[in-house]
Every structure is written in C-alpha cells, then in structure tokens.
Amino acid sequence: MVALAPSDFRTPPNLTGVQVNIGAVSHQFELEGAPLPVLDRVSFAVEPGQFVALLGPSGCGKSTLLRLLAGLDHPTSGSLRVDGEEIGDPDPSRILVFQDPTLFPWRTVWENVALGLEAQGIIRTGGDRVDAALRLVGLDGFEKAYPHQLSGGMAQRVALARALVNDPRLLLLDEPLGKLDSLTRLTMQAELVALWQKAGMTAILVTHDVEEALFLTQRVLVFGPRPAQIVADIPVDLPYPRHRGDPRLGELRRVALQHLGLAATW
C-alpha cells in the first residue's frame, strides 16, 4: 500500500463537502404484493465535511438510504436535501461505492476507473487523474488487468478508485471494506481517513463493524431493526490520528453495542 504524498491526489480547492439534510424520510418496497416498510421517518443532518457512520442490523435499510442519497431511488415520503436542494437524478458530485465492487468485466482496471470521467466527457484531459487514483489505492501496475484477474480486495479498491477519481463532494460508502482481509482493511481504513481529511468531502459510511465506525468517523448513527429509525446518535469526540487502543474508543464501543441490542456480550 502506498503512503499518501500530497501530490498524489489533488482536489480543486473550491470543492468542499456538502451539507446533507434528511427530513422524515420513509421508504417502502413492494414484496410479493405486500408493502415492506424499510425506513420510518428518518431525520438527520450532516454538516459539510463531516464523516458519519451508519450502523445497524442487517436488512434494516442502510443501503436503501444510500441509494436515496445517490438519487438512484426516490423516497416514498420525506425530503432529502443536499446544500438545500432536493436530490433529483444521480450526479457525479455524489458517488456511491456499492457493497459489491461490480466492476465492468469487459473493461480493464484503468478503463473501469476512467468510467466516470468518460461518462462526463472529460477523459481526454483527465487521464492523469485516473493514474493518481490508482496509485492512491495501491493498484498502479494493474492498469491493464481485467477484473476477473483481481482478488476480491483489489476489486473493491478499484471500485473505490472509480469513485474517488470524480472528486465527489458527497461520498457514500456501502461497506467498502467488507470484503477485504483484515490487514488490508486496517491499511485502507487509515487511507480512507487521510483521503477524507485531504479532500474535505462529506462522507457517509455504512458498516457492520463497530470498531471501524468509531475509528474512522466523527459521528455514529445507530439504526434499529426494520423499519429503520435512528436509535442513537453518538459523537466520536476524538482527534485524528486516532489510536486503536484508545480507552475512549472502548467506552464508545460499549455504548454503540448497547444500542444495537448486544449489551449482553459486554
């Protein structure tokens, strides 16, 4: 893995994180004719540049919420605003990194990362941004490889690079490190923090891993079981760089697990 040199990944200085306002968002799916409520009047706000984690039981609606924020789906009711504007269609300023890397198998690693720039018609001038993003995730040298020639962790890193190359102002991460081995995972965690600090975007991270949420983010929102409501809003008032052995993290961990209904294990 590479260390972050300042020249590695430049973001235009005028690009900063967005403010996110979610007001009483409810969403329901249709499952075999019966309505399946997934989100129940969820409301919260994220300050510009804040790094927030969403924690909750499996199937509670975290991915659904991220899809709404990306503009891929629209809520049954309620409002989602970015910088005061209602979210409409998907936009490259808000990028979602999916739970599965879902790389395009017919494109090389380089071409996969270049996807966004190509779609926006700026690939001609942005080629070196692709190289920089690949360097950032430690995959330089694999430009010409096809996705099936990568390991699961490498594929996930390509998916990350594919998002980062667009300089998103809102980065939505759906368990981006879920498939990585624990060693790569630790390194990538540190890099995510470094990346967020440097780019200054607003970031929302969905994870199952309580330690990861606490180590990375400034604030952990805990969801209850479906239909999801926010059951706790835990500020992580620790400066970066953080240390995994910090006793305060242990305390917060206990609090978070309690809200997840796992207090018995402690």
Partner 1 sequence: MTAIESNDTAFSAARATSAQSGRRSARFWRTGAVAAALWLGSAAVIEFWPEIIPAPYGRELAILSVLIAALLVLVLTTGFLLGKTAIWVRYYGPWFAVAAVGLGIWEMLTAKLAVLPVPFFSSPQGILEVYIDDWARLGESVLHSVLLLAKGYFFGAVVGFTTGVTIGWSRAAGYWVHPILRLIGPLPATAWLPLSFFIFPSSGSASVFLIALATAFPVTILTWSGIASVNRDYYDIARTLGASRWFLIFKVAIPAALPHVFVGLFMGLGTSFAVLVVAEMLGVKAGLGWYLQWAQGWAAYANMYAALIVMALMCSSLITILFRIRDRVLSWQKGLVRW
Ligand X SMILES: Nc1ncnc2c1ncn2[C@@H]1O[C@H](COP(=O)(O)OP(=O)(O)OP(=O)(O)O)[C@@H](O)[C@H]1O
Applying CB under 6 A, which residues contact ligand X? 29, 31, 36, 38, 56, 58-64, 99, 226
**Buried/exposed code over 63-97 (b: 16+ C-beta within 10 A; e: otherwise):** bbbbbbbbbeeebeebebebeeeebeeeebebbbb
Question: Is the Cβ of residue 114 or residue 228 nearer to Mg ion in the bound state?
Answer: 228
Binding to partner 1 by CB under 8 A, coded x per residue (else -) over 48-87, reads -------------------x--xxx---------------
Sign of CA dihedral 197, 194, 72, 221: negative
Is residue 63 part of the contact set for Mg ion (CB under 5 A)?
Answer: yes
Burial class for 105, CB neighbours closer than 10 Å (0-12, 13-18, 19+): exposed
Number of residues engaging partner 1 in binding (CB under 8 A): 28
Q: Which of ligand X, partner 1, Mg ion, none binds 148 (CB below 5-8 Å, type-dependent)? A: partner 1
Q: Judged by CB under 8 A, which stretch of 36-44, 91-99, 237-245, 255-263 contacts partner 1?
A: 91-99
* Token pair in block for residue 105: 């198998």
Q: Closer to partner 1 at the Cβ: 46 or 159?
A: 159
CA 4/CA 28 separation, integer angstroms: 42
**Interface mask (CB under 8 A) for partner 1, residues 95-114, using x and -?**
xx-x-x-x-xxxx-------
CA distance 188 to 202: 18
With CB under 5 to 8 Å by kind, the binding choice for 31 among ligand X, Mg ion, partner 1, none is: ligand X
What residues have CB less than 8 Å from 116, skipping those under 6 apart?
Answer: 92, 95, 162, 163, 165, 166
Q: Which of 5, 13, 31, 148 binds partner 1 (CB under 8 A)?
A: 148
CB atoms within 10 A of CB 261: 12
Q: x/- contact string, 154-173, with partner 1 (CB under 8 A)?
A: --------x---x-------
C-alpha–C-alpha distance, residues 165 and 223, integer Å: 31
Within 10 Å of residue 188's Cβ, how many Cβ atoms? 22
Pairing of strands 94-97, 51-55: unpaired
Identity of the residue, 28 or 112, whose beta carbon is nearer to ligand X in the bound complex:
28
Draw the binding track, 10-49, toward partner 1 (x: CB under 8 A; -: no contact): ----------------------------------------
Using CA atoms, how far residue 84 sits from 49, 71, 173, 204, 258, in Å, is 15, 15, 22, 18, 34
Answer with the entry of Mg ion, partner 1, ligand X, none that 60 interacts with (C-beta below 5 to 8 A by kind).
Answer: ligand X
Binding site for partner 1 (CB under 8 A): 67, 70-72, 89-92, 94-96, 98, 100, 102, 104-107, 115-116, 118-120, 146, 148-149, 162, 166
